[in-house]
Amino acid sequence: MASNALIPKTAPFADDAITHLNNALRDTTALQRAWLAGFLAGLDTQGGATGGEVSPQPLATPKPAEPLTIVFASESGNAEQLAQDAAKLARKSGFKPKIIDFADLDVAALAKEQRLIVIAATWGEGEPPSRAARSYAALLAPSAPRLDGVTYGVLALGDTAYAEFCAIGKAIDTRLEELGAKRAVARVDCDLDFKAPASAWLANTIKTLAPATEQASNVVAVDFSARESEGDSNEPFTLEVSEHINLNSSRSDKETFHIAFSFSGTTRAYDPGDSIEIFPQNDPALVDAILAAAGLASDNTLRNSLTAERDITTLSVITVEKYASASGHDGARRLAEDGEIKSWIKSRQLIDLLEEFHAPLTADQLLSLTRPLPPRAYSISSSRREVGDEVHILVSPVRYETHGRNRTGVASGFLADRIKAGETLQARIKPNKHFRLPDPSTDIIMIGPGTGVAPFRSFIQERRAVSATGRSWLFFGERRYTHDFLYQLEWQDALAEGALTRLDVAFSRDTPQKIYVQDKLWAKRRDVVDWLDNGARLYVCGDASAMAKDVRKTLVHLVADVKSLSPEAAEEAVSALERDRRYLQDVY
């Protein structure tokens, strides 16, 4: 091509544009000139060998992406993160995904969906995550709509430490089928080490749900390692213990430790309401007992692995079955086949199985009975605006006796008994966007007995630092005023400064009739309703099995009483607070 004719005459540009492009082309590098000349020469050939005009080629009408609805029910955040992973994978596979929190799900609208993925966690002994309870009940209700024409798959998350493993995912899977939906793929039930099975299930499900003509061969599994490298919050880091203080008096029958950590190296960001996941180590005495029971007391490499990496307390039906197969012990085999196995397992741990049905094991066999030791999450009790490069938590060690053996919580025992000031451990921040402070001008009501008060300490520190104008009201409960008033001086200082507007306390062992936070809530019901009517946001943190349920029942009751509503209308009013994110829970 001649230097003065770099752009072919048949190129689809105006004459003055061709002149401008030719001049620009002469100023490019040799490599750029060669590429552009070749590209434009292709335009010349499109005009035909005789140099005819270019025939405009009609553009293909893009095919609209197929819709895919992804619903998650999450307590700790794992199901929510998997939903986001599924959406990314779906987009790459030609879908147009939308993600719905089960808390926001309109069950009646499910009938309009064509393709549905549900990722559901089970909380405690077979309960839905707290935010999902209302919609879960609506799905199981007789009034739930028919779902004929909906194709679905369910991924269940759970913990084999609990008897009702993945109960919520199983129930949703069954219910969708009962309502007429068609199951596209078999449900998968994931334990705490869910990453590999969840990754494979998501890839297979999205491929299966694709239209027959588009069932992509390019669907790949979710790369969890890539996701974890995207941000510091998922990377474990080192903390050094700077304070380790028992807040209960020496005459208390409880222990509650305030533990302050300083960041070693880069400080990680966190917000009030977030948690921190601590990577604990097992009790060395329990590790030695397990090694002795398995006939492996001299294996130091295995000892190190069991101490820092493996869950050596959880006992499940699957564990018993594996042990019966590995050991060949007749008693273990009969237990595995016994219909009462779940009853036997209750309140027992792996050490009980090994000692009750003693048999020598290899190191690999013993490891196969365990799973990875997961981190434990604790609500952060500090605001960085006040404490700087530190993070604080509140820990009450779990101690109890069953079947003739004293037991201690894995993480709480590690933090209370075996980690001291000056020592280090591994941790990572766990954000909780569902338990955030509102605008500083908004009123807040906080209900946190025992260690449930931890996040509210961070709330008050934060609101003081930003000079919040909204009112704040704390309901705190413990056993005895004299011995168990956690952070008493701090609350009193906050009241004096105005950072805390009101404080109501309930000490259950100081009166003949036990008084709890929900009793204080009822006693102040008119003021509680007045605050809520004026836009206050209500927070609950602490025990999920009893306290949080009792608080909610009391809230419905007091709304009905103050507003003269029927129980049904009061329930709807409280449900509306939940839907509007004005009634928030962080329970465990």
CB 239 within 8 A of CB 263: yes
Instruction: Let me know: does 25 contact 7? Beta carbons within 8 Å.
Output: yes
d(CA 310, CA 282): 8
From the CA atom positions of the chain, what is the Rg in Å? 30
**pLDDT recorded at residue 449:** 98
What CATH architecture does domain 234-280+375-430 belong to?
Answer: Beta Barrel (2.40)
Cβ proximity of 148 and 185 under 8 Å: no
- Per-residue confidence (pLDDT) for residue 62, from 0 to 100: 56
Instruction: For strands 275-279 and 376-379, give the pairing.
Output: antiparallel
Contact 172, 105 (CB under 8 A): no
- Using CA atoms, how far residue 253 sits from 158, 445, 478, 486, 488, in Å, is 33, 29, 11, 14, 18
Cα atoms found within 13 Å of the Cα of residue 552, Cβ hemisphere only: 25
Q: What is the pLDDT of residue 221?
A: 52
Task: Name the nearest CA neighbour of 258 among 486, 481, 461, 474.
Answer: 486
Length of the chain: 588
Tokens of 134: 């209302």
**Among candidate residues 85, 86, 164, the one with its CA nearest the CA of residue 128:** 164
Give the number of other Cβ atoms within 10 Å of residue 384's Cβ.
Answer: 20
CA distance 28 to 36: 10
Q: How many CB atoms lie within 10 A of CB 45?
A: 11
Give the count of beta carbons closer than 10 Å to the beta carbon of residue 309: 15
Nearest to 474 by CA among 539, 549, 565, 548: 539
Backbone angles phi, psi at 146, to 5 degrees: -70, 145
How many angstroms separate the CA atoms of 182 and 114, rounded? 10
The predicted structure's pLDDT at residue 22: 52
Q: Tell me, what's the pLDDT at 266?
A: 82
Burial (Cβ within 10 Å: 0-12, 13-18, ≥19) of residue 277: buried
Q: Answer whether 74's CB lies under 8 Å from 104's CB.
A: no
Element (H, E) at 407: strand 405-408
Low-confidence residues in the chain, pLDDT < 50: 1-14, 17-18, 20-21, 24-25, 27-55, 213, 216-217, 225, 227-233
> Per-domain residue ranges for the chain?
3-46, 66-228, 234-280+375-430, 295-369, 444-587
Query: For the structural domain made of 444-587, what CATH number should be given?
Result: 3.40.50.80
For 277-317, what is the HEC assignment? EEECCCCHHHHHHHHHHCCCCCCHHHHHHHHHCEECCCCCH
What is the per-residue pLDDT for 197?
A: 96
Are both 234-280+375-430 and 444-587 of the same fold?
no
pLDDT at 51: 44
Please name the residue that has the structure tokens 């493993």: 165
Which CATH architecture best describes the domain 66-228? 3-Layer(aba) Sandwich (3.40)
Q: How many CB atoms lie within 10 A of CB 212?
A: 5
pLDDT at 23: 53
Burial tier of 142 (Cβ tally within 10 Å: 0-12, 13-18, 19+): exposed
Give the position of tokens 């001086």. Answer: 489
- Tens-place pLDDT, residues 16-56: 544 544 554 454 444 444 444 444 444 444 444 444 444 45
